[in-house]
Amino acid sequence: MLVGKPHIENFLPQRAPIVMVDELLEASTEHAITRFEIRSNTLFVEKNFLTEAGLIENIAQTAAAQAGYLAQQQGVATPVGFIASINDLKILESPTVGVVLTTSISVINRVFEVIIIQAQTKQDMRELCSCQMKIFIKPQDRA
């Protein structure tokens, strides 16, 4: 594990109560893996299930954690990203409170301030969600 729960907000532009990542397990310029436990007070939980918006936000924050980690390794501020588009979204199952999600992203392409990722969220070995996401990264000044 690269970053645990007490320090994850140092690598994300989001703040509680919208933080949807607990741990950054792996991060490189080409991929990242995070883990997140769904709690009853999680912002996107409705009737004990994490909503589609919650799954999407978890994917976006996995990309944000990757970007924040790499930025800090380079001595620059954590960048802010904005979802530009989501393609091929497949939600196979809505996870419940208490479930631990493992989300992985792979960078498909980078063009200037736009990054395209392929993402997959699993519970144990079972795929729950996948999509391709285009994210606009707002450049930041040096830290």
User: By residue range, what is the domain housing residue 73?
Assistant: 5-138
Q: Which residues pair with 103 in a beta bridge?
A: 34, 121
- Residue 141, pLDDT > 60, answer no
Q: Are 142 and 98 in contact (CB under 8 A)?
A: no
For residue 101, being part of any structural domain is answered with yes
- State the residue for tokens 């144990």: 124
For residue 143, being part of any structural domain is answered with no
Total domains, the chain: 1
- Residue 139, pLDDT > 80, answer no
For residue 17, being part of any structural domain is answered with yes
User: Which domain CATH number covers 66?
Assistant: 3.10.129.10
- Residue 127, pLDDT > 90, answer yes
User: Mind listing the pLDDT tens digit for each residue in 14-64?
Assistant: 888 899 999 999 999 999 999 999 999 999 999 999 999 999 999 999 999
For residue 65, being part of any structural domain is answered with yes
For residue 11, being part of any structural domain is answered with yes
Whole-angstrom distance, CA of residue 14 vs CA of residue 34: 15
User: Mind listing the pLDDT tens digit for each residue in 62-72?
Assistant: 999 999 999 99
For residue 30, being part of any structural domain is answered with yes
Q: Are 65 and 21 in contact (CB under 8 A)?
A: yes
